[in-house]
């Protein structure tokens, strides 16, 4: 895996300046710099570099972390790197079927993800199965009884249903987190 390709996927520009050998990137959204100053740097992704990248993006807003999710046709996949296999591995999330894929490069990983979804949809047609949708718009949340009571009272105070109150609270929090994305 080429480090420049990975960082480009994360909205980073490769820097040319600096003294000595090293690899430098600038993350436009956060305005932060990531520099690998090493005696003889290569552009491959090592476990150490991936860890540094994770720490770098972890210090930015959560919406600016290394792209660990891919999206295609309304399906999302979680991406991880297997040092043992020296591959990027992905698995589609939000469905009960298991859709897994891998690739040695970002472009190969993306190609395999698209192929995985296209094959899944074709297989569903072949067997007369309705393809699962990722999110149905319903989920159960376990909260402390006192918070449940407070939420119901706050919703009633605003003349809203508890469902509408929770929906609005989630929309407001998600909007805050994605405002810089």
Residue 39: pLDDT above 90? no
Cβ within 8 Å of residue 83, ≥6 positions away? 47
pTM higher than 0.75 for the full model? no
Decide: 134 and 94 in contact? Cβ < 8 Å. Answer: yes
- Domain assignments of the chain as residue spans, ordered by start: 3-64, 69-127, 145-178
- Is the CB of residue 90 less than 8 Å from the CB of residue 113? yes
**Which pLDDT belongs to residue 146?**
92
The pLDDT of residue 58 is 62
């Amino acid at each position: 895996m080429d480090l420049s390709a990975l960082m480009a996927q994360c909205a980073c520009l490769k820097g040319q300046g600096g003294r000595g050998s090293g690899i430098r990137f600038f993350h436009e959204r956060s305005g932060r710099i990531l520099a690998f100053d090493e005696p003889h740097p290569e552009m491959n992704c090592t476990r150490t570099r991936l860890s540094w990248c994770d720490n770098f993006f972890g210090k930015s807003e959560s919406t600016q972390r290394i792209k660990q999710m891919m999206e295609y046709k309304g399906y999302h996949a979680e991406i991880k790197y297997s040092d043992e296999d020296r591959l990027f591995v992905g698995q589609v999330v939000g469905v009960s079927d298991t859709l897994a894929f891998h690739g040695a490069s970002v472009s190969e990983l993306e190609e395999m993800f698209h192929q995985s979804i296209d094959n899944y949809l074709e297989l569903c047609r072949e067997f007369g199965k309705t393809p699962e949708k990722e999110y149905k718009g319903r989920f159960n949340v376990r909260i402390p009884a006192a918070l449940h009571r407070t939420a119901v009272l706050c919703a009633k105070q605003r003349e809203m249903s508890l469902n509408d109150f929770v929906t609005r609270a989630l929309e407001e929090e998600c909007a805050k987190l994605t405002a810089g994305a």
